[in-house]
A and B are shown apart, each in its own frame.
Chain A
């Protein structure tokens, strides 16, 4: 592939930076969340919960920027050769995974935010900026929402695993150079 057509098939540099930044952040906040959820009641637990909320809101804000940017700088189409080599179910899975990921990028943090609002603990970003409550404090509603932050987060983790697995398959098994277009090395 010449460098010219390579450039055309690559994502925009900012798209690439946002992809890897948010990818790393999501993996981190996921394991962070899994870790803190089982901590006993302590100042440490409260601190980590607050940090988790701050990180979640920051990631949500970056996701809004990312999606807005993507609307103006769409993903490059799959290279013809790679697309034609993919069976229909793979193409469908490819579309569904990305759609699902983007949906969950919003659903997971919003559900978490709604839960903490319902539980009566508003998010105070970085301990300074109090964010509005998504729903009014309501214990019954909080209990209803609670399991869904975890469930949706695990659903996202599953899709991320599919995404990474598929990317590795292209790279290691197909050796079709698809990952080039999202490479940080240009």
Chain B
């Protein structure tokens, strides 16, 4: 016990030295304040859905945004359209095939500052084993020690085989899906 104490103190010291600067700190997602929604159209009828479970690993130095790394996982089984009838379908093979692909991933490849808290994040989005390059505009806003990242982008569901076979008909369910997110993170340096 005694022998370990100085080492533990040393560790704490370095941890304390590194953490508050934010330089290489890992930011933490606040899931309860964050949301990922999606909207598509079924014969013109807007359908709004949500993913209830997701996580992010964010390493974002505000002084060096181009070095930022953003990784994302979304539990495909947590998708809901708010209606029991359609929610029963989403996990099935033609849609998210949750049994085989329980998670969708995003991994950033580059982050570019566009000024005034706006960034362009490029990366790979993988859903159902299909990877596509996506470009995501992100706006950051800070208040009370928290940073809120918001943005939206459009993806083509058929590129990821979301809605196969009889559901591939885009006159029934549109190919375009708007993804809208609001992510609250802590531990980010001042913009």
Contact = CB atoms under 8 A, between A and B. Distances in A.
Interface stretch (B81-89, B104-112, B177-185): B81-89
A50 B44 CA distance: 10
A95 B1 CA distance: 95
Contacts of A42: 166
A122 B42 CA distance: 11
A171 interface: no
Contacts of B173: 43
Contacts of A119: 83
Contacts of A33: none
Given A120-B48, A120-B82, A139-B82, A41 B43 contact: no
Nearest to A127: B44
Interface residues of A, number: 17
A169 interface: no
A130 interface: yes
Nearest to B42: A46
Interface in A98-141: 119-124, 127-128, 130, 137, 139
A119 B172 CA distance: 19
A121 B45 contact: yes
A77 to B, nearest CB: 46
Nearest to B92: A41
Interface string B136-170: 00000000000000000000000000000011010
Interface string B20-52: 000000000000000000000011111110000
A124 B45 contact: yes
Main secondary structure of the interface of B (DSSP, over half): mixed
A119 B83 CA distance: 7
Given A43-B166, A46-B172, A120 B83 contact: yes
B44 A124 contact: yes
B46 A122 contact: yes
B43 A47 contact: yes
Contacts of A122: 45-46
Interface in B60-112: 82-83, 85-86, 88-89
A46 B44 CA distance: 12
Contacts of A120: 48, 82-83
Given A41-B88, A120-B83, A139-B82, A47 B45 contact: no
25 contacts: A41-B85, A41-B88, A42-B166, A43-B167, A43-B172, A43-B173, A46-B42, A46-B43, A46-B172, A47-B172, A50-B42, A50-B43, A50-B45, A119-B83, A120-B82, A121-B45, A121-B47, A121-B83, A123-B45, A124-B43, A124-B44, A127-B43, A127-B44, A128-B44, A130-B46
Interface of A: 41-43, 46-47, 50, 119-124, 127-128, 130, 137, 139
